[in-house]
A and B are shown apart, each in its own frame.
Chain A
């Protein structure tokens, strides 16, 4: 899941426009993003990476069973592109 730090957020909406699942939406008068469809979020990290205020954090990375197995066995990081996924 992702966490949005509203003290840092400036409401620019970049996170909403980069999300490939339209899982975020801007809400309110002074607009702030909200994860409106958490069930669609795949923690790809696009919102976190593209937030100009670094206000979004999360458990970003690949959701690959084989990668995680390798990681647990060999201590290799999953972002290293261990398998073909």
Chain B
């Protein structure tokens, strides 16, 4: 059985241990006993992700001094209750492991059971690095977590069961976990020496005990090619066309571009693959570091809006990649469009690097760097000229026609075959003309666009002798289409705002419903008049 199911169990703390016992095939108690056997009375233990607190209480009963962290307040309330009943004195603390650097103290042990599988790979690395500061000299870390079994048949069974349970779990809890992969490299990279490795629970779980080394090995950042070859053009073109549909991530971390040294500039960006491509495209001939943050495969602006590109995230990537050991110049150049998610002052407080505001567009990086970090005229502003609008509009049109295309294929009796074409065309038209009307209101823009299209089509049909009711009916549908696509395009533009859309929201929907009603009721009215 897969441990991804524990995301379910967390919703009912009182059933957590019983549930884990079932998942582990009755092994869970034995696994806790195995962990506790390592700890001597009087030792100071820090537990990362304590859940309902059962292990922490048992450690306390053995005589250890336990500090236990968890990010779930509900689970902590339950854990505190359990500890009170058991008479255990445990220092519980509400802390997300993404902010482990806020913790201070010295412990003999750091223990994490089924915790690392909940963290993103970048956070796993950062936690291991940050735990170094929390461990005394020669302190140890003990990790029990889910791994993919090595045995071939078990591996297949594991993947089948896990993908099914993972889907079920995700639908119910919107959360997921991932088995640890390459954890030995993570440990070695963060400066731990593995003392023991054991398979538990017939290969589905693994236990690591590792000891901190005086110094972690120097990190070896990957290299990125500056400039584009023909492959990059093709890759980027595909990424651009699908940019409204797909989030394609780039492996986050610290990279070298050219041959940077301890005093070279450090740039940072999001890990959407197209974003990374664009940044490196313009850096030919420069020696810089590039910090790629795990923004879940989303571009700078949108991930910052979703709070996935933040000062905390930058600090995690910096810690995980141990940038401070390679780069003496404690300065970080941000893409300006991340500032709705990144608090400048917080970057310094969390990472020790001073954040500087870089240009909005990657293409201005060469001039910015050559000027020694001076923002030239216009580099600090978003533009929305014709070219920019097509840059957003074409992928938007692809997105619109693909969605309606799928609908048309799925419901051929309900949806006209040429609908994707109309949607695509309207999307391109609104992108091209978005700023031409002297109003910001999407209701007006949409109606004007729709009316324009209706007029053009009506003239065409009129010249082909198709007069009458059909013509009027089509016009109504075209106006509705123009309005709907325009409203949708507002989210793509960098010039709309929330207050505006909120104000118009109701009016746009009412108009749309009205237009569609007329469209569908129209034939009936016509019959009455005939």
Chain A contact residues, CB within 8 Å of chain B: 1, 14, 17-18, 20-22, 39-46, 49-50, 52, 59-68, 72, 79-81, 83-85
Q: Is B488 in the interface zone, CB < 8 Å from A? A: yes
Neighbouring A residues of B495 by C-beta, 8 Å: 40, 42
Q: Report yes or no: B380 in contact with A22, Cβ–Cβ below 8 A.
A: yes
Q: Report yes or no: B508 in contact with A65, Cβ–Cβ below 8 A.
A: yes
Q: Is the interface of A mostly helix, strand, loop or mixed?
A: loop
14 contacting pairs across A/B (C-beta < 8 A)? A1-B499, A17-B357, A20-B381, A42-B496, A43-B499, A59-B502, A62-B305, A63-B496, A63-B498, A64-B501, A68-B505, A79-B305, A84-B244, A85-B491
Neighbouring B residues of A21 by C-beta, 8 Å: 381-382
In chain B, what residue has the closest Cβ to A67? B491
Neighbouring B residues of A20 by C-beta, 8 Å: 336-337, 339, 360, 380-382, 494
**B329-361 residues at the A interface, CB under 8 angstroms:** 336-337, 339-345, 357, 360
In chain B, what residue has the closest Cβ to A81? B306
Q: Complex formed: what's the CA distance from A64 to B508 in Å?
A: 13
Q: Report yes or no: A63 in contact with B306, Cβ–Cβ below 8 A.
A: no
Q: Report yes or no: B497 in contact with A41, Cβ–Cβ below 8 A.
A: yes
Q: Is B490 in the interface zone, CB < 8 Å from A? A: yes
Q: Report yes or no: A50 in contact with B497, Cβ–Cβ below 8 A.
A: no
Q: Is B245 in the interface zone, CB < 8 Å from A? A: yes
Chain A nearest CB from B173 CB (Å) reads 15
Number of CB contacts from chain A to chain B under 8 A: 102
Chain B residue total in the interface (Cβ 8 A): 44
Chain B nearest CB from A60 CB (Å) reads 7
Q: Report yes or no: B491 in contact with A64, Cβ–Cβ below 8 A.
A: yes
Q: Report yes or no: B381 in contact with A61, Cβ–Cβ below 8 A.
A: no
Q: Complex formed: what's the CA distance from A42 to B301 in Å?
A: 13
Q: Complex formed: what's the CA distance from A66 to B244 in Å?
A: 13
Q: Report yes or no: B499 in contact with A18, Cβ–Cβ below 8 A.
A: no
Q: Is B109 in the interface zone, CB < 8 Å from A? A: no
User: Given the known A-B contacts A20-B360, A65-B490, A81-B298, are A60 and B244 also in contact in the complex, defined by CB atoms under 8 Å?
Assistant: no
In chain A, what residue has the closest Cβ to B242? A84
Identify B381's interface contact among A14, A22, A50, A79, CB under 8 A: A22
Identify B498's interface contact among A49, A52, A61, A83, CB under 8 A: A61
Q: Report yes or no: B340 in contact with A45, Cβ–Cβ below 8 A.
A: yes
Chain B nearest CB from A85 CB (Å) reads 4
Q: Is B247 in the interface zone, CB < 8 Å from A? A: yes
Neighbouring A residues of B247 by C-beta, 8 Å: 84
Q: Complex formed: what's the CA distance from A52 to B343 in Å?
A: 9
Identify B491's interface contact among A22, A45, A46, A62, CB under 8 A: A62
Neighbouring A residues of B245 by C-beta, 8 Å: 84
Q: Report yes or no: B491 in contact with A65, Cβ–Cβ below 8 A.
A: yes
B464-507 contact mask (Cβ, 8 Å, vs A): 1 or 0: 00000000000000000000000110111111111111100100
Q: Complex formed: what's the CA distance from A62 to B505 in Å?
A: 14
User: Given the known A-B contacts A49-B340, A80-B306, A81-B302, are A63 and B500 also in contact in the complex, defined by CB atoms under 8 Å?
Assistant: yes
Neighbouring A residues of B307 by C-beta, 8 Å: 79
Chain A nearest CB from B149 CB (Å) reads 34
Q: Report yes or no: B339 in contact with A18, Cβ–Cβ below 8 A.
A: yes
Q: Report yes or no: B306 in contact with A50, Cβ–Cβ below 8 A.
A: no
Chain A nearest CB from B145 CB (Å) reads 28
User: Given the known A-B contacts A20-B380, A65-B487, A68-B505, are A14 and B496 also in contact in the complex, defined by CB atoms under 8 Å?
Assistant: no
Q: Complex formed: what's the CA distance from A31 to B494 in Å?
A: 28
